[in-house]
Structure 1
Amino acid sequence: MRFIVKLIVVAFALWLTTLIVSGVKVVPWEDTTVATVLTYLLIALIFGLVNAIVGGFIRIVAFPIYVITLGLISFIVNGLLLLLVDWISDLMGFGLQVDGFWWGVLGALVLGLISWLIGLIVRPAKD
């Protein structure tokens, strides 16, 4: 259940990111509402997998660089991960379109902030 909620949160945050950042777009495979929603959910799933697998590996290997830059390198890494999601979804024939590296960095920053804010709202209260 937690996975599904997180997936919906990231998909909704991605939708808001596409409204805020003009260099990040989502192109569904059909022009219907259902196809658009499924596209956002699939991109959120791809982003979650890429972030968990590739992002986790990068964070472990590049830990000294994270320490030296006081974590600022994470903006660059997240932008590159968003570009990787763009590439993977492009291979599938639909999905995310990022206009360039800096749009990817800005998109990843906005996506992270919005996901964090929505996560604060939907997080279950601890007893």
Structure 2
Amino acid sequence: MKLIIQLLLTAIVVLVLAEILPGVGVDAFTTSIIVAAVLALLNVLVKPILVFLTLPATLITFGLFLLVINAVIILLVDYLIPGFSVDGFWWALLFSLLLTISQSILYSLTEK
């Protein structure tokens, strides 16, 4: 049940951010649900591999390279989902930052 609530909250945040940011677009709410699910799947399967492969760069930049990995994951979701579009790396970076902050706030509110 908690996973479904988190996916729905993420889908809502994706939809809101797509309305706010001009470089990000989502066709419909169902597309944002698919984006949230694929994003969760990629964060579980692909992100640990990327973190391991880029460990030296992450250590040298004191963890800031993880922002680049998050943006790459967003761009990968853009490539995989037809109704979701991100106009470039910098939009993906901003989108991932705002998505992470929003998820942190919402998830902490739902835990209580």
1:70 and 2:58 correspond: no
What is the CA RMSD across the aligned residues, in angstroms?
A: 1.3
Counterparts of 1:20-39 in structure 2 under 5 Å?
20-27=20-27, 36-39=28-31
After superposition, the C-alpha distances for 1:10-59 in whole angstroms (9 at most, x for unaligned) are: 111112211222111102xxxxxxxx222211110011111111112111
TM-score with structure 2 setting the length: 0.91
Counterpart selection for 1:116 from 104, 109, 112? 104
Distance across 2 between alignment mates of 1:17 and 1:74: 21
CA contact (8 A) 2:15 2:29 kept: no
TM-score with structure 1 setting the length: 0.81
Unaligned runs of 5+ in 2: none
After superposition, the C-alpha distances for 1:80-116 in whole angstroms (9 at most, x for unaligned) are: 11000000002xxxx2100111111111111111111
Q: Letter of the 1:26 partner, please give it.
A: V
Q: Kindly report structure 1 stretches of 4+ aligned residues shifted beyond 4 Å.
A: none
Alignment correspondent of 1:84: 76
Counterpart selection for 2:45 from 53, 59, 64? 53
Alignment correspondent of 1:32: none
Q: How many residue pairs align between the two structures?
A: 112
After superposition, the C-alpha distances for 1:54-89 in whole angstroms (9 at most, x for unaligned) are: 112111232232222111111111111100000000
Alignment correspondent of 1:103: 91
The structure with the largest alpha-carbon Rg is 1
Distance across 2 between alignment mates of 1:64 and 1:45: 30
Identity of aligned residues (%): 29
1:15 and 2:12 correspond: no
Unaligned runs of 5+ in 1: 28-35
